[in-house]
Structure 1
Amino acid sequence: MGDAGVDRQLRADAERNRRRILDAAREIFADQGLDVSMRQVARHAKVGEPTLRRRFPSKADLVAEVFKDKVVFYADAAEEALADPDPWHGFTTFVGRLACMQLGDRGFTEVLTMTFPSSMRIEKDRRRAYEKISMMIARAQAAGTLREDFVPEDMILLLVSHAGIVAATGDIAEKFSARLVAYLLQAFAAPGAGPLPAPPSMTETYRALLRLHDGDQHAVPS
């Protein structure tokens, strides 16, 4: 085999390893969340950790690659909800789609509450989603269908509550999910049964959800 043939074989091997790593990471993140280490991912992919880190130098790089398509879908779903002629239908449909995504992937909620380097596409899509969700909330409130004291941070409260149900109920999570979402949507509907306590600030909300690393900077665990 000549040099060109050797190069092609090396590239093919590298691509196989990359696909194996991504498939393994998707599986283990969906099943266990993002607490797993790079070493565990490498073991699950049946490659050495140095091989994994040559392709994905940091955990953030790997997580971003694994979840980029789902975050695009999430942002697109928010845009579709915002475009719905019926503001309440758009809001409730979006909540239902989020619940379905959580049912299939435990890592999904964690990714939505992370920040990535601004140069990464996943961060741009995550911010796009947040902007559209805020607009969707304001639109439903203006229509008088969503209670006036609902804030964007309440969407995170919904995600975390639902994630707890998914984690706790296993194979029958779908039944519990449908009932919880129905209860929450009734609670969110205007005018609301009564006043709510003041919501936590954005910073307090994120600190309650994110693992802190290197002081106040959140980083994806390595």
Structure 2
Amino acid sequence: MTTQVVATLRSDARDNRLRILVVARAAFAAVGLDVPIREIARRAEVGVATVYRHFPTKEALLAEAFAEQLTLCSPIVEEGLAAADPWEGFCLVLQKLMEVHALDRGFSRAFTSQLPDAAGFAADRDRTLRLLLHLVRRAKEAGALRSDFVLEDMSLALMANDGIRTESPETRVAASRRFAALMIQSFQAQPVPMPLPRAVRLPLSRR
């Protein structure tokens, strides 16, 4: 086999891998984590065997598909920790994380799931969780965050946020901001009623 042919095969393999990741990210974001590998292969215009050749398990594909998005979370939490007021920092983090997740239906579940350490996903997630725990501890010590709050409550809020269904990403983000404001008031040690962001029209029944 000539060097040129080998190079072409390697280039095709790289292209296939990139196309699979692009398609997987879009499918997981739009539909959630239940998209079957066969459907991802169909959308990427490759065979199922090609997907598994690059990603031996669906979990490995999930981890690598969301690795880039996860790197956005640590800076958000670091920004919250840098705030002079721990409560303001906590609110900022919750609002921004929920807005990120509002645009990606799959990522919130991937973030709260136990996925293998593909592309450093587990390590990045664990670092983000440690930062969050530090932020929660500071907000409690300041007397602003209710003492019985646990990190699972934030996961619960993110999972609920994932359930928002709207006609457009813009409306979804607007609904998420209002939901975040409601969550912030419920997490506050001594809730102070504040005006909520504008409400958006949502379907009253699941479609």
TM range (shorter): 0.7 to 0.9
Q: Is the 8 A contact 1:145 1:190 kept in 2?
A: yes
Structure 1 residue 134, shift from structure 2 partner? 1.1
Superposed CA deviations along residues 121-160 of structure 1, whole A, max 9, x for unmatched, are: 1011111111111111110111122122211111011111
Structure 1 residue 76, shift from structure 2 partner? 2.9
Q: Distance in 2 between matches of 1:132 and 1:92?
A: 14
Partner in structure 2 of residue 211 of structure 1: none
> How do residues 1-222 of structure 1 correspond to structure 2 at under 5 angstroms?
3-118=2-117, 121-165=120-164, 168-171=165-168, 172-192=171-191
Q: Which moved more, 1:109-118 or 1:43-52?
A: 109-118
Q: Distance in 1 between matches of 2:21 and 2:179?
A: 32
Q: Distance in 2 between matches of 1:37 and 1:75?
A: 29
1:18 to 1:118, Cα distance in 2 relative to 1, 3 A: closer
- SS class of match (1:146): coil
Q: Distance in 1 between matches of 2:118 and 2:15?
A: 27
Q: Please, what is the CA RMSD of the aligned residues?
A: 1.7
Q: Distance in 1 between matches of 2:117 and 2:21?
A: 22
Structure 1 residue 59, shift from structure 2 partner? 0.7
Which segments of 5 or more consecutive residues in structure 1 lack a partner in the other structure?
194-222
Q: Distance in 2 between matches of 1:45 and 1:85?
A: 47
Superposed CA deviations along residues 38-95 of structure 1, whole A, max 9, x for unmatched, are: 1111011111111111111111111111101111221332233223222112111111
Amino acid at match of 1:183: L
TM-score, length of structure 2 as denominator length: 0.85
Q: Is the 8 A contact 2:145 2:188 kept in 1?
A: yes
Q: Is the 8 A contact 2:109 2:159 kept in 1?
A: no
Q: Distance in 2 between matches of 1:100 and 1:174?
A: 6
Q: Is the 8 A contact 1:145 1:191 kept in 2?
A: yes
TM-score, length of structure 1 as denominator length: 0.80
Amino acid at match of 2:86: P
Q: Distance in 2 between matches of 1:51 and 1:157?
A: 36
Q: Distance in 2 between matches of 1:169 and 1:148?
A: 34
Structure 1 residue 120, shift from structure 2 partner? 5.5
